């Protein structure tokens, strides 16, 4: 398996957990269609190392004596939620995935990996975001491969506490999404937008970026709107 900056820092136990996750992905992908990436080195780089890029930002949120919390919106086969749950055993991780069979796979994988710091919800983000136990409750809300910035910010930011972080993974399309995306993030109470470019081992000419923003005030109560409205009239 091909390791990078973050995967090479994992303990033996964490590496064993991720090896098992890779095996489960390969086995279940045959009928669940969880990912297009099925070759083992590619799973380690394009899924595991990629998911762990958020650690640089998440470590800045860590406060001694307190359990941090993170929510992942649209986690699919478990990215980045389950990978971050392996890497951050002292964080509470919540994984939200609308498609029941994908959420069930995550449940099975988390159980087999012995993860006791992750809860998986087979639910839509815009429903959970209006529930008392979820809204404004998390130190960080993250999302990867979920679409345009102006749409995913509305689905993801309502979960963040004031002072917490919004983090999303982006590729080359970020440049064309950025003007509307920044306007949406600011309307939703986010500031200090920062874009962190990164490379993955063995991936030539990669143009990957992590976007982070700080939630400086609560998301206005009317957001998120219904999904069909979000899609038809994105913010920004």
Binding site for ligand SAM (CB under 6 A): 73-76, 79, 96-99, 102, 124-126, 144-146, 155, 227
For residue 64, the minimal CB distance to ligand SAM (Å) is 30
Which CB sits closer to ligand SAM, 217 or 226? 226
Q: What DSSP element (H or E) covers 93?
A: strand 91-96
Q: By beta-carbon distance, which residue lies closest to ligand SAM?
A: 76
Counting runs of H as helices and runs of E as strands, what totals does the chain give? 10, 7
Which CB sits closer to ligand SAM, 192 or 226? 226
For residue 28, the minimal CB distance to ligand SAM (Å) is 14
Which CB sits closer to ligand SAM, 156 or 216? 156
What are the two backbone dihedrals, phi and then psi, of residue 79, each rounded to the nearest 5 degrees? -115, 130
Which CB sits closer to ligand SAM, 154 or 179? 154
234 close to 180: Cβ distance less than 8 angstroms: yes
Which CB sits closer to ligand SAM, 62 or 184? 184
- Alpha-carbon dihedral sign for residues 164, 75, 227, 195: positive
For residue 116, the minimal CB distance to ligand SAM (Å) is 22
220 close to 188: Cβ distance less than 8 angstroms: yes
Torsion angle defined by CA atoms of residues 162, 165, 168 and 169, in that order, rounded to the nearest 10 degrees: 180
For residue 74, the minimal CB distance to ligand SAM (Å) is 3
For residue 45, the minimal CB distance to ligand SAM (Å) is 14
- What is the longest distance spanned by two Cα atoms in the chain? 47
């Amino acid at each position: 398996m091909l390791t990078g900056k973050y995967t090479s820092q994992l303990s033996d136990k964490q590496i064993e957990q991720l090896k098992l996750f890779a095996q489960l992905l390969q086995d279940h992908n045959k009928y669940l269609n969880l990912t297009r990436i099925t070759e083992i080195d590619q799973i380690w780089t394009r899924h595991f190392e990629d998911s762990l890029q958020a650690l640089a930002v998440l470590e800045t949120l860590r406060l001694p004596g307190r359990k941090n919390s993170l929510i992942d919106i649209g986690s699919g086969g478990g990215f980045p939620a389950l990978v971050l749950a392996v890497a951050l055993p002292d964080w509470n991780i919540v994984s939200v995935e609308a498609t029941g069979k994908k959420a069930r796979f995550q449940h099975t994988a988390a159980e087999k990996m012995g993860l006791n710091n992750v809860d998986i919800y087979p639910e839509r983000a815009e429903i959970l975001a209006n529930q008392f136990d979820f809204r404004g409750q998390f130190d960080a809300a993250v999302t990867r491969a979920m679409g345009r910035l102006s749409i995913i910010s509305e689905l993801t930011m309502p979960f963040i506490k004031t002072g917490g972080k919004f983090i999303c993974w982006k590729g080359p399309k970020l440049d064309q999404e950025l003007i509307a995306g920044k306007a949406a993030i600011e309307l939703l109470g986010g500031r200090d937008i920062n874009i962190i470019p990164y490379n993955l081992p063995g991936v030539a000419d990669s143009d990957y970026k992590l976007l982070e923003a700080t939630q400086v005030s609560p998301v206005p109560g009317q957001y998120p709107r219904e999904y069909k409205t979000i899609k038809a009239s994105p913010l920004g």
